Amino acid sequence: MLARHPNWQSLLSDYLVETARERFAYGQLDCGLFVADAIAAMTGVDVAADLRGKYGSRIEAFELIRAQAGLPAMEAIAEKLASDFNLHEIAILRAERGDPVMLRRGRRSSLGIVAMHGTEVLTPFRHGLLRLPLNHATRAWHV
């Protein structure tokens, strides 16, 4: 089970400020690595260590996800990593700042984290972090 550092809020805030204007890039700052880096900032544990440096495009990312989780879907890798690191699924309305969430738009899914004030979700986008209302989340896990 992951444990947050005593000063996790400051560490997470620093990470979010650092990435606020960074552009989305597969293998560098995509939704999965964004969430993994946020978790690493809070806990010191890199939940994506087995994925880093192994892809640089959407196609490569989903090939790697299929190899790791059995299906080429964000939900599949999120479930696998949650199980591997003992992150318990929680009701979306119980998600707190820093908790990872699943976002779904049509047939596509992505990941994000609950923002510092607890009412929005942050996820990487073309020109920086995108803010969405928490009600866009379809699943949540507690770190």
Domains contained in the chain, number: 1
C-alpha atoms less than 13 angstroms from C-alpha of 57 in its C-beta half-sphere? 3
For 17-42, the pLDDT digits (tens) are 999 999 999 999 999 999 999 999 99
In a domain, 90, yes or no: yes
pLDDT band at 105 (very low <50, low <70, confident <90, very high): confident
For 114-127, the pLDDT digits (tens) are 999 999 999 999 98
Boundaries of domain holding 96: 8-142
CATH number of the domain enclosing 69:
3.90.1720.10
In a domain, 1, yes or no: no
How high is the pLDDT of residue 55?
97
